[in-house]
């Protein structure tokens, strides 16, 4: 008898698996490769939405959890995937500088926005209006994290490398029955693949396609994340990740020439040196119209749960959300209304 069947082994599913294992629960994880965007994503974490200069009241708690959560997994797996790196917002005008100063005076943002401008000059980047520095930032190498955690699950016979067949799911008393497995609970962490899930397909998971480039630029040199209309993330040896686009209409994971051209044009607004495109990737982020996650329990099946909608801020949100869902299932702790799927009514 299992405590949990977890469907999905991306960022959300792996994070929930870690929480359950730490609580000594018996689990099995289905890999379920369905529109998994986690490995494509750059994995940035940043407490401030710079486009709108907003931060959530839970930002500090989320950052604290993030550091503890991922560092513990690094130690457990003897693997490095969390990197602290400053985010510098490149300014293109005095007006943008003034907007930064105004935002940094906001009590909700003051802990995360440095009041003094960064005047450093970096090879390959013109910056006549300098930069603003966001505090407590960095990135998770999502591909390394997910691959390492899958290997850990696999080596402990906790991973089923197969797609999940929803039609095979049965309900028996207070149990979930799937083929030869019986469990007290099932948690679906399928990302955009949720659209193939007949139990939760009523939820408004929209999905936003994002293209990312891997470039090599020998004359570009900095050890910060530069943020403007796109981000430029250094990953060593003059290689950089550049992203990302936001396409709300195309739901395929195929990279597009349109996405590439958009990234190239925006990149050239920031840097003034030559570069070579090494790789072009795309994925579908699991986003929701109200920009809130999808957590909670099915209205009819009380031992069926969902963990989805982590969106563009998944690395920062994942430890916070898996803790909330686990405590909700195990101890009845209420989910915050803005994350609970109860805010959406199922239509018959």
pTM of the predicted protein model? 0.94
Find, among 164, 156, 142, 155, the residue nearest to 30 by Cα: 164
CB contact set of 147 (below 8 Å; sequence gap of 6+)? 39
Q: Show me where the domains of the chain are located.
A: 2-43+143-204+290-343, 86-136+208-285
CATH number of 86-136+208-285: 3.30.9.10
Say whether domain 2-43+143-204+290-343 belongs to CATH 3.90.1150.10.
Answer: no
Written as six digits, the tokens of 288 are 């929701």
Which whole-number Å values give the CA distances from 12 to 136, 140, 334, in the listed order?
A: 22, 13, 20
Hey, which bits of 199-243 come out as E strands? Answer: 208-216, 225-227, 231-236, 239-243
Q: What is the pLDDT along the chain (348 residues), one digit of tens a residue?
A: 999 999 999 999 999 999 999 999 999 999 976 545 666 788 999 999 998 899 888 999 999 999 999 999 999 999 999 999 999 999 999 999 999 999 999 999 999 999 999 999 999 999 999 999 999 999 999 999 999 999 999 999 999 998 899 999 999 988 999 999 999 999 999 999 999 999 998 999 988 999 999 999 999 999 999 999 999 999 999 999 999 999 989 988 899 999 999 999 999 999 999 999 999 999 998 899 888 999 999 999 999 999 999 988 999 999 999 999 999 999 999 999 999 999 997 654
Strand 87-90, strand 225-227: pairing: parallel
At 234 the three-state DSSP class reads strand
């Amino acid at each position: 008898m299992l405590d949990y069947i977890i469907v999905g082994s991306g960022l959300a599913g792996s994070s929930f698996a870690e929480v359950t294992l730490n609580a000594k629960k018996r689990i099995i994880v289905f890999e379920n490769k369905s529109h998994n965007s986690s490995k494509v994503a750059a994995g940035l974490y940043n407490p401030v939405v710079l486009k709108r200069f907003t931060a959530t009241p839970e930002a500090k708690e989320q950052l604290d959890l993030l550091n503890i959560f991922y560092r513990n997994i690094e130690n457990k797996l003897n693997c490095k995937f969390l990197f602290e790196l400053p985010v510098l917002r490149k300014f293109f005008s005095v007006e943008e500088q003034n907007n930064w100063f105004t935002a940094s005076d906001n009590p909700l943002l003051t802990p995360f926005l440095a009041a003094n401008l960064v005047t450093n000059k970096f090879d390959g980047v013109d910056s006549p209006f300098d930069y603003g520095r966001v505090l407590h930032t960095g990135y998770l190498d999502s591909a390394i994290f997910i691959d390492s955690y899958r290997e850990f699950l696999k080596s402990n016979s906790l991973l089923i490398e197969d797609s999940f067949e929803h039609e095979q799911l049965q309900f028996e008393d207070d149990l979930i029955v799937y083929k030869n497995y019986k469990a007290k609970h099932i948690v679906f962490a399928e990302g955009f693949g949720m659209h193939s899930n007949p139990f939760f397909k009523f939820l408004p998971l929209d999905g936003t396609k994002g293209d990312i480039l891997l470039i090599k630029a020998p004359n570009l040199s900095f050890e910060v994340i530069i943020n403007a209309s796109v981000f430029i993330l250094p990953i060593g040896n003059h290689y950089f990740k550049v992203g990302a686009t936001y396409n709300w209409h195309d739901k395929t994971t195929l990279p597009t020439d349109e996405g590439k051209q958009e990234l190239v044009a925006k990149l050239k607004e920031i840097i003034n040196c030559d570069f070579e495109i090494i790789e072009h990737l795309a994925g579908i982020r699991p986003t929701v119209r109200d920009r809130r996650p999808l957590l909670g329990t099915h209205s009819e099946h009380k031992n069926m749960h969902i963990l989805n909608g982590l969106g563009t801020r998944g690395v920062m949100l994942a430890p916070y959300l898996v803790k909330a869902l686990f405590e909700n299932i195990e101890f009845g702790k209420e989910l915050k209304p803005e994350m609970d799927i109860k805010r959406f009514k199922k239509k018959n």
